[in-house]
């Protein structure tokens, strides 16, 4: 009897919210698992986009499975306690624009190792969801070896404008929040379009 190939998730894979997944750069061994998620979008928070020249196997996997590849350029920030933040708020806001609109779902969001870069975007999503900083940073350190002062300052200072199409907004974004609270977010200007 032939044993079927096991489903192998990417390194640091996890479910963020319903149909929103996070982890490390997908490798060929992860394709069968990712296919089982019926993804519509892969958001790559990496220095280089996924193209036939940079990663033919992942590119062909996405094309074959009708998965939209979105690249948001992020640098590698280095290692250690003084590592920098590999992106700006504009990049995070771009990522969140995909994440909060359900026409892109299911989504897999990844960086190279599934650690700091992806965690920064998810931390800013949690801030948009009105999570406490303690809860945000507890989730953050589950996927990284440490959280630096730079990481904390980036998340604490996160601000910008989010434009939301209420007919396309994911259902889980502000469960239990009243309308007046959302429009008065202390750091993020939320506008319905």
**pTM for the full predicted model:** 0.91
171 pLDDT band, cuts 50/70/90, is very high
42 pLDDT band, cuts 50/70/90, is very high
Q: What is the pLDDT of residue 174?
A: 86
Query: Mind telling me the catalytic residues?
Result: 111
38 pLDDT band, cuts 50/70/90, is very high
Task: Classify 107 in phi/psi space as left (phi over 0), alpha (psi -120 to 50) or beta.
Answer: beta
The average confidence (pLDDT) of the chain is 91
Q: What is the pLDDT of residue 1?
A: 66
- Kindly state the average pLDDT of the residues 30-56: 96
- Kindly state the average pLDDT of the residues 51-75: 96
Return the CATH number of 14-192, one of 3.40.47.10, 3.40.1080.10, 3.90.190.10, 3.30.200.20: 3.90.190.10
Q: What is the pLDDT of residue 76?
A: 64
- Kindly state the average pLDDT of the residues 88-102: 96
**Alpha helix segments (H runs only) across the chain:** 31-36, 56-64, 89-99, 116-128, 133-141, 149-157, 179-183
Q: Which of 75, 104, 97, 102 is nearest to 87 (CA)?
A: 75
- Kindly state the average pLDDT of the residues 121-149: 94
> What are the residue ranges spanned by the domains of the chain?
14-192
Alpha carbon distances (Å) from 59 to 26, 43, 48, 71: 11, 13, 13, 12
4 pLDDT band, cuts 50/70/90, is low
Taking only the tens place, the pLDDT of each residue in 142-163 is: 998 889 999 999 999 999 999 9
């Amino acid at each position: 009897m032939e044993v079927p190939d096991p489903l192998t998730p990417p390194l640091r894979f996890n479910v963020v919210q319903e149909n929103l997944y996070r982890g490390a750069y997908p490798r060929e061994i992860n394709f069968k698992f990712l296919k089982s998620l019926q993804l519509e979008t892969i958001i790559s928070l990496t220095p280089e986009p996924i193209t036939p020249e940079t990663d033919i196997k992942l590119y062909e996997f996405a094309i074959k499975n009708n998965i939209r590849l979105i690249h948001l350029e992020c640098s590698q920030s280095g290692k250690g306690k003084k590592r920098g933040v590999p992106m700006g708020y504009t990049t995070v806001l771009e990522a969140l624009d995909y994440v909060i609109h359900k026409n892109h779902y299911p989504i897999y969001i990844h960086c190279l190792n599934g650690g700091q870069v992806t965690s920064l975007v998810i931390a800013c999503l949690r801030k948009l969801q009105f999570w406490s900083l303690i809860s945000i940073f507890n989730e953050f350190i589950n996927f990284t070896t440490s959280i630096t002062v730079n990481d904390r300052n980036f998340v604490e200072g996160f601000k910008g404008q989010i434009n939301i199409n209420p007919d396309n907004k994911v259902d889980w974004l502000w469960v239990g929040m009243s309308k007046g609270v959302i429009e008065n977010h202390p750091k993020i200007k939320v506008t319905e379009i």
